[in-house]
Every structure is written in C-alpha cells, then in structure tokens.
C-alpha cells in the first residue's frame, strides 16, 4: 500500500520575512483509510475479547465495535486522533474503566527518537512531597504519587518514615495522590502495620492484596516487607488518611488496604484509636492496564487484572474507597487534626496497662 500520508493537525505559521519567528513543529495525525480503520477496530475488539479482566462486558463492547464498523459508523473518522476519541467513547458506554481505551499519541510509536523522555523519578521526591511535625507531636506526610521503587525511592521513603516514627499520631494526605506502584504501597504499609491476629504468633509480613486476571488467577501478590530501613511508626498509634475524588490508583490501594486492617483491629478490640479514612470517596480505579501498539499513532489499553484485598476479597473499582468520616476534602486536614488531638489526650489519660 506504500507509505501512509500524514495530516498536520496544527498549521505551521508561514515565515514572511527574514525576521519572522520560527513556529513550533506541527502535531502529526495519522491519516486512516478504510482498511486501516477496519484493522484497528477488529484488532482492538480481539484484544478486548481475549485480555480484558471482565470477559462478558468486554465481549459485549467488542461485538458493538464490530457492528458499528459494519454499519459504516467510523467512515467519517479519517485520522488517528478522531478514531481514538470515537472508539474510546463507544467502548466506555459498555465497559467503562480507566484502563480500557484507544489512545492517540502525537508522535510515531515506531520511532524511539520521537518518544518523549520519561520524567526524572526524583523530580518530585518520588511523590513523597514533604513531612512536617505539627503541634502536639502530630506528624503530617503529604504524598502526591506512588512511584516505582528504586534505590532512591527506598532511601527517600525510609528517611521520611523514620521522621514520622516518633510522632504521637500521623496524618497521611492522599487527597492529590495517584501513581501505579503497588510496590510502594507495600513498602509504606510496612511502616504502619503489624500482625495483630495473635499475641503470641506474629508474621513478619502481612498479605495486603492481589492482582487477579479474568480467570481468577493471581498474577501478583503484595505483602509488607519483613525488614525496612529506619524506624517504623507501628501498628498502634492513631493514623488518619485524607482522601478525595482525586485520589486514584495505587493511592486507593494504600487507603483501602490500611482501612481494612484497621477495621479488623478495632473489631477485635486490639486497637481503639486506630485509623480512619477521612474525606470524600476516591476515584474508583482498582484495575491494571496493558498497552500495545496498533498503528503508527494508536495504541490500545486494556484492563487485564483487578485488585482483590485479602481480607474482603473485594476492591474499590467504580465506587471508590469509602471514607470512615465523610467530610469536604478541603476540611479533611482540620478534621483529622481535631481527632488526632483528642486521641492523644485520651491516650495520655489512659493507664499504660489498659492501652492496646
């Protein structure tokens, strides 16, 4: 068929004189003829049917795509950008999740030189933005991203959690947190949880959650670490997690896992002051996606697994993590501070032998 043409999505400014400024390069937008559109639709439908974690719903979406293609509904989508927008909307109407879509990228996927450079992992301190010690020895940790683990991330987490360890109570702010590193979830949870199932027998590691594929097979397990650098905050002192509708992905896993273990501890009478999730329901993203190139400027993203908390065998997909204390996210920090101060006063007035 020969080399496919490209369509400029943004017109270049013409230079009318020697002193004219040089304009930015145009954004490429791949032109799609009928055979190419058919290939993209059919291949995406195939990947949905074969890979998506929700098999029945994905099959319905795939069948719908093929019917629309046969009816000529995609004939007017002549570029990669236009087709991606239309197909994504059609799939989302039947199988909505944040990891299943047809993605347009403004460069040639086959040319590594055109790929934008990955952001430096340490540019935002691995998402562990800051730790402050507030009045009454209350720690405040702000997290904006759960970054992949490398030596720098491990060292940064150890440094901040070591600072938090001696706090009388700890507030972790996840209101703007996202990211997809469930390994970071497991690492930070290691500083905050201890096995409370038995006074005598305690496991060095706690099983948090799994990722499960469409057949129910466990494809990844996430456990706390038996050994971590620095001191641990521990599993007894008051802990508060601030969330909002911007809290997503791995940050939701972190909040949900901690919430379930803290609820179990409270129900068993082994903790009377432990954790609360405060704010508004989170985004509701409990799946993991996989991307594959399908044309020069299109790639498919398909949700291939879902989280499953070990205690509940459930997750937060769609509905989000539900707070224990529902408040406007803007007021969540003040609410947590008030609760932490009250918990510290109660602890100070309670004889040591009566404390959990």
pLDDT, tens digit, 9 for 90 and up, residues 303-328: 999 999 999 999 999 999 999 999 99
Tally of domains in the chain: 2
What is residue 18's predicted lDDT score, i.e. its pLDDT? 40
Please report which residue ranges of 202-331 form alpha helices under DSSP H: 250-267
Domain-located, residue 17: no
Domain-located, residue 344: yes
What is residue 264's predicted lDDT score, i.e. its pLDDT? 81
195 burial class (0-12, 13-18, 19+ CB within 10 angstroms)? middle
Residues of the chain under the 70 pLDDT cut: 1-27, 196-202, 266-275, 351-356
Domain-located, residue 356: no
Shared domain for 101 and 36, answered yes or no, is yes
What is residue 202's predicted lDDT score, i.e. its pLDDT? 62
What is residue 352's predicted lDDT score, i.e. its pLDDT? 56
Shared domain for 181 and 193, answered yes or no, is yes
| pLDDT digits 0-9 by tens, 145-182 | 999 999 999 999 999 999 999 999 999 999 999 999 99
What is residue 122's predicted lDDT score, i.e. its pLDDT? 84
Pairwise CA distance, residues 283 & 58, whole Å: 21
Domain-located, residue 13: no
Query: What would the two tokens of residue 78 be?
Result: 């002549």
- Residues spanned by the domain of 90: 26-108+288-310
Q: What is the pTM of this model?
A: 0.87
Pairwise CA distance, residues 338 & 138, whole Å: 11
What is residue 16's predicted lDDT score, i.e. its pLDDT? 35
Domain-located, residue 3: no
Shared domain for 293 and 263, answered yes or no, is no
Shared domain for 337 and 199, answered yes or no, is yes
Shared domain for 255 and 295, answered yes or no, is no
Domain-located, residue 121: no
Please check whether residue 63 is in contact with residue 44, taking contact to mean a CB–CB distance below 8 angstroms: no
């Amino acid at each position: 068929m020969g080399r496919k043409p490209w369509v400029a999505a943004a017109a270049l400014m013409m230079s009318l004189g020697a002193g004219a400024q040089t304009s930015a390069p145009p954004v490429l937008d791949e032109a799609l003829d009928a055979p190419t559109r058919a290939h993209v639709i059919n291949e995406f439908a195939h990947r949905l049917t074969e890979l998506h974690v929700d098999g029945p719903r994905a099959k319905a979406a795939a069948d719908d795509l093929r019917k629309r293609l046969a009816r000529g509904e995609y004939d007017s989508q002549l570029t990669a950008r236009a087709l991606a927008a239309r197909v994504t909307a059609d799939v989302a109407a039947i199988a909505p999740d944040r990891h299943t879509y047809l993605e347009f990228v403004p460069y040639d996927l086959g040319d590594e030189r055109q790929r934008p450079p990955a952001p430096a992992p340490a540019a935002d301190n691995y998402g562990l933005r800051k730790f402050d010690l507030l009045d009454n020895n209350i720690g405040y940790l702000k997290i904006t991203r759960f970054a992949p683990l490398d030596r720098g991330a491990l060292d940064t987490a150890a440094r901040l959690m070591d600072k938090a360890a001696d706090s009388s109570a700890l507030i972790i702010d996840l209101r703007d947190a996202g990211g997809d590193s469930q390994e970071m979830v497991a690492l930070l949870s290691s500083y905050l949880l201890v096995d409370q199932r038995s006074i005598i027998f305690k496991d060095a590691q706690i099983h948090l959650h799994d990722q499960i594929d469409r057949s129910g097979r466990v494809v990844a397990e996430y456990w706390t670490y038996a050994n971590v650098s620095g001191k641990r905050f521990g599993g007894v002192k008051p802990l508060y997690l601030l969330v909002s509708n911007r809290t997503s992905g791995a940050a939701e896993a972190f909040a949900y896992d901690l919430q379930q273990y803290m609820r179990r501890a409270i129900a068993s009478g082994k903790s009377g002051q432990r954790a609360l999730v405060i704010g508004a329901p989170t985004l509701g993203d409990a799946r993991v996606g996989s991307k594959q190139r399908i044309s020069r400027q299109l790639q498919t993203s398909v949700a291939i697994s879902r989280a499953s908390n070990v205690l509940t065998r459930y997750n937060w997909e769609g509905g989000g993590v539900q707070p224990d204390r529902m408040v406007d996210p803007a007021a969540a920090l003040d609410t947590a501070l008030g609760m932490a101060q009250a918990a510290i006063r109660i602890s100070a007035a309670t004889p040591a032998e009566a404390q959990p």
